[in-house]
Structure 1
Amino acid sequence: MMPWDGVVEFVAVAQTESFTQAASRLGISTAQVSRQVSQLENRLTTKLFYRTTRKVSLTEEGAVYFRHCRQVLDGLEEAERAISSLHQSPQGLIRMTAPVTYGERFVMPIVVNFMEKYPQVEVICELTNKQLDLVDGSYDLAIRLGRLADSSLVAKRLTSRRQYVCASPAYLQQYGVPETLADLNQHHCLIGTNSHWHFDEQGKEKVIKVQGRLQCSSGLTLLDAALRGMGVVQLPGYYVNEAIKQGQLVVVLAPFQQAKEGIWALYPQNRHLSAKVRLLVDMLSDELA
């Protein structure tokens, strides 16, 4: 008996929670799947599944074994794809995610250019401001903005952005210009997904909790409200640069502005960066810069 006997069948049952569905996925009989899993359990002298007439579920030992087996099988699949990519032009599916507005305006036009250049590449992109789990969701790539949370993901800096605090001339004429960070407490703030704004004060980070009548995850909505004179907003330059240039918005609290933040491409570290994903990341880096 080979050490791998039963492992593929075991993983398929764990993923589908069904011997019948696992057999269908593997193209073999249910009896063969059951036999291979039973032989694997005998070899390990460990019960891997709880079996009832209605449900199949992993035991505690089975869950531990599944995590390790899935990593190994994923590694084998990636190894095969890595070898294949050496001999082929980029092809196949790329699953990715990006923030909504930045993805629409900047990322997806480059992705479409990439697909025109490599006609055998397919892309599924989920535009969302939620930070999806790349491993559990089987994503190859994520575009993230600003500060990165600690994680096991590999990050490549594509370009950078700068945050601006600004308001319309009409608002500032009515409510005055904030001169210090404490002045924000006296102003109507237009708030995004985070009600804490970050600044630099004498070389140290200063975080201010702001308040206001409007909170929305859409940067375009906040920009529109600021242009209408409804309050002070903190937004990246790609939202407000044109309005600032035309005098529709005025930058305030400039001495407290933080340094530029990164815009990143992230991918799982235990996943081989295939040729198609690597080429897409390179194109994003070149064109976004």
Structure 2
Amino acid sequence: MFLWEGVTEFVAVAEAESFTAAAKQLGISTAQVSRQISALENRLNTKLFYRTTRKVAVTEEGGIYYRHCRQIMDSLAEAERAISDRRGTPQGSLKLTAPVMYGEQYVMPLINDFMLQYPELDVTMDLTNQTVDLVEGGFDLAIRLGRLTNSTMMAKKLTTRMQYVCAAPGYLEKYGVPHSLSELRHHNCLVGNFDHWRFQEAGRERSVRVSGSLRCSSGHALRDAALKGIGVVQLPDYYVSDDLESGALISILEHMQEPEEGIWALYPHNRHLSPKVRLLVDFLADNLQHKPR
């Protein structure tokens, strides 16, 4: 047991490159992490980290020690997973994050169904439209929409979404139907978090800057404004599919519509996917594929 002291804290700091982030991930104080690292360095009689006010990085000796410790911890995790797999009942805690609207409407009902199947699980869900740091926040899994940019994360596609540019029939009767991207500048475009809309023209991606009388971070609010004839909107299918089917909104510029985007489950690259997370990812993938468009 003495030889193991400080190892968990050391690996956490090495991977997070921060004493504070490691402490948050482990659920202990930064001071406790610092004490354990100092004791470990004294026991090994070597310096494991370079410390500055901005960054923490492993020394050459620290890198060697980290690789051995990581192998040991991975082996321990494999042993625990083997027991868990034999037991066949996911249990313990899961910390997740997802975008607010998509999380409320689609993800959380499935999470609740999953918890009914596995009542020994405790779930913490952070619904936010901010891109949180999974490692620093101690998250097991994140649901992300659209294009992925962070190559340090592992990703599994759960389902897809399609972006639609649409407007109410009354708006189009009054202001006309745009047939080219250049015509969008003459229309009142309802803007969300980004003032560029993406299209595909002649097989090439096009990004068009749009503007209008309403800017809002809520897709529901933008949909409502479009339904009331205030302007043109670009929204994913899960906001407008029912309106397009009923005719309350009309899809336009379909010949320049961008291909489907992925909806993803992300987890840290340096964290093996535990059986309970793997089960949840498979459960979400199976059920989100069958959500109505």
* Whole-angstrom distance in 1 between the partners of 2:155 and 2:48: 39
- 1:119 and 2:123 correspond: no
* Whole-angstrom distance in 2 between the partners of 1:64 and 1:198: 48
Alignment partner, residue 148 of structure 1: 148
Amino acid at match of 2:279: L
Alignment partner, residue 82 of structure 1: 81
Aligned residue pairs, count: 271
CA spacing shift, 1:132–1:142, aligned 2, 3 Å: same
Deviation at 1:176, TM superposition (A): 1.4
SS in 2 for 1:238: helix
CA spacing shift, 1:203–1:277, aligned 2, 3 Å: same
CA spacing shift, 1:263–1:60, aligned 2, 3 Å: closer
2:41·2:48 contact (CA, 8 Å) conserved in 1?
Answer: no
Alignment partner, residue 275 of structure 1: 275
Higher alpha-carbon Rg? 1
TM-score scaled by structure 1?
0.82
1:198·1:258 contact (CA, 8 Å) conserved in 2?
Answer: yes
CA spacing shift, 1:33–1:139, aligned 2, 3 Å: closer
1:47·1:59 contact (CA, 8 Å) conserved in 2?
Answer: no
* Whole-angstrom distance in 2 between the partners of 1:222 and 1:57: 41
Amino acid at match of 2:78: A
Deviation at 1:77, TM superposition (A): 5.7
CA spacing shift, 1:189–1:68, aligned 2, 3 Å: farther
Q: Can you list the C-alpha shifts for 1:60-101, whole angstroms capped at 9, x where unaligned?
A: 667994997498276466334323322221101111111111
SS in 2 for 1:198: strand
Within a 5 Å distance, the mapping from 1:216-255 to structure 2 comes to 216-255=216-255
Which ranges of structure 2 fall in alignment gaps of 5 or more residues?
14-18, 24-28
SS in 2 for 1:135: helix
* Whole-angstrom distance in 1 between the partners of 2:283 and 2:58: 44
Alignment partner, residue 110 of structure 2: 110
Within a 5 Å distance, the mapping from 1:170-189 to structure 2 comes to 170-189=170-189
Equivalent in 35, 39, 42 of residue 43 of structure 2: 39
2:189·2:211 contact (CA, 8 Å) conserved in 1?
Answer: yes
1:81·1:274 contact (CA, 8 Å) conserved in 2?
Answer: no
Amino acid at match of 1:97: T
CA spacing shift, 1:11–1:63, aligned 2, 3 Å: farther
Q: What is the aligned-residue identity percentage?
A: 47
Q: Can you list the C-alpha shifts for 1:256-282, whole angstroms capped at 9, x where unaligned?
A: 111111111111122111111111111
Q: Can you list the C-alpha shifts for 1:194-233, whole angstroms capped at 9, x where unaligned?
A: 1111101011111101111212221101101111111100
2:48·2:61 contact (CA, 8 Å) conserved in 1?
Answer: no
Alignment partner, residue 256 of structure 1: 256
